[in-house]
Amino acid sequence: MDPTQSNKSFKLESLFNVKGKVALITGGGSGIGLMATQVLAVNGAKVYITGRTEEKLDRVAELYNKDIPGEIIPLSADLTKKSDIRNLAEEIKKREGYLSILMNNAGISSHTQTTEHEDASKLRESLFDDKAADFEEWDNVFRTNVSQIFFMTTAFLPLLQKGSEKEPGWSSTVINTTSISGIIKVSQHHFAYNASKAAAIHLTKMLAHEVSSSNLKVRVNNIAPGVFPSEMTAQESDEKQKSFIPKEKYEDKVPASRPGKDEDMASAVIFAATNQYLNGQTIVVDGGYVLAAGSL
């Protein structure tokens, strides 16, 4: 290769190029989903965002679609229903015919339980007798955080494969948003959520293996965030669909001495989307939290 041409391939716009790509992000109306939506659309991708709340999706499109080379398009759907997922896949097929990036980001948490008991009866009372902790809660958490990833990914495999075939050198990608909660050994007071995220990480590896074994040119990875501002961590969003966490809250809990910033997540999403040699991997973006807490 000519040295001048070789140098050009190392430019940022070449290494992290998503211009003209078609993306679909679940839970794109706030938090990490919105961060991913912005970084892809600002860099030239056409980004479909989906979730249950149509007003929230429309608000994102209204706020963040201005003066960008890409585009943000809202499509509401309940991703815990196969019928909605099937309809969503058909809609993307009709509109685009292919998909370059699928980010399974939608997720829910579970209620918290006290674990700091040294008495067995007290611990049982907190973990078993708690009326809010029932099979239905665990089913709902796993339905959204695990089952939805499986059905979304498998429903869109034909469109993702077409995305790979469309452009030589590009392999379409699935990016699952998991969590460091699925890596560390502490429950963080919510067993169902942490167990679901551990399952989502393992599901990512299984999907990556089976898709690759089927000779499909589709990569499957997951990003495991630490604490980032979102409706799940901050319990609210402002008028711009953004959330806020005080830095002081995590000064002593995270080696980085702060929660994650939008830009920290954005750079991880761009890396996962564009690195053609990344497959079946967990990208931990947590300011060093796992280093401090210890992993499984």
DSSP 96: T
How many whole angstroms separate alpha carbon 256 and alpha carbon 269? 20
Q: What sign for the dihedral angle of Cα 38, 46, 87, 268?
A: negative
pLDDT tens sequence across 2-44? 777 789 889 999 999 999 999 999 999 999 999 999 999 999 9
Tell me the longest C-alpha to C-alpha distance in the chain: 73
pLDDT tens sequence across 203-228? 999 999 999 999 999 999 999 999 88
What's the confidence (pLDDT) of residue 178?
Answer: 98
pLDDT tens sequence across 137-167? 999 999 999 999 999 999 999 999 999 999 9
Tokens of 126: 């907190």
Q: What sign for the dihedral angle of Cα 274, 278, 279, 284?
A: negative
Rounded mean pLDDT of the chain? 91
Q: Is the confidence at residue 242, as pLDDT, over 80?
A: no
- With tokens 């939008």, the residue in question is 262
DSSP 220: E
Contact 279, 46 (CB under 8 A): no
DSSP helix/strand/coil, 56 = helix
Q: Which ranges of the chain does DSSP label H, i.e. alpha helix?
A: 3-8, 12-15, 31-42, 54-64, 82-95, 120-127, 135-142, 148-155, 157-166, 191-213, 231-234, 262-274, 289-293
Which string of DSSP letters, residue by residue, matches 144-202? IIIIHHHHHHHHTHHHHHHHHHHSTT--EEEEEE--GGGTBSS-TT-HHHHHHHHHHHH
How many whole angstroms separate alpha carbon 295 and alpha carbon 186? 9
What's the confidence (pLDDT) of residue 116?
Answer: 79
How many whole angstroms separate alpha carbon 125 and alpha carbon 129? 5
Q: What is the pTM of this model?
A: 0.92
What's the confidence (pLDDT) of residue 110?
Answer: 84
What's the confidence (pLDDT) of residue 241?
Answer: 64
What's the confidence (pLDDT) of residue 248?
Answer: 72
Domains and CATH numbers, the chain: 13-293 (3.40.50.720)
pLDDT tens sequence across 88-129? 999 999 999 999 999 999 998 887 777 777 888 887 877 787
Provide, rounded to the nearest whole percent, the portion of the chain with pLDDT above 70. Answer: 95
Contact 22, 163 (CB under 8 A): yes
- With tokens 């679901």, the residue in question is 196
Which string of DSSP letters, residue by residue, matches 250-262? GTTTSTTSSPPPH
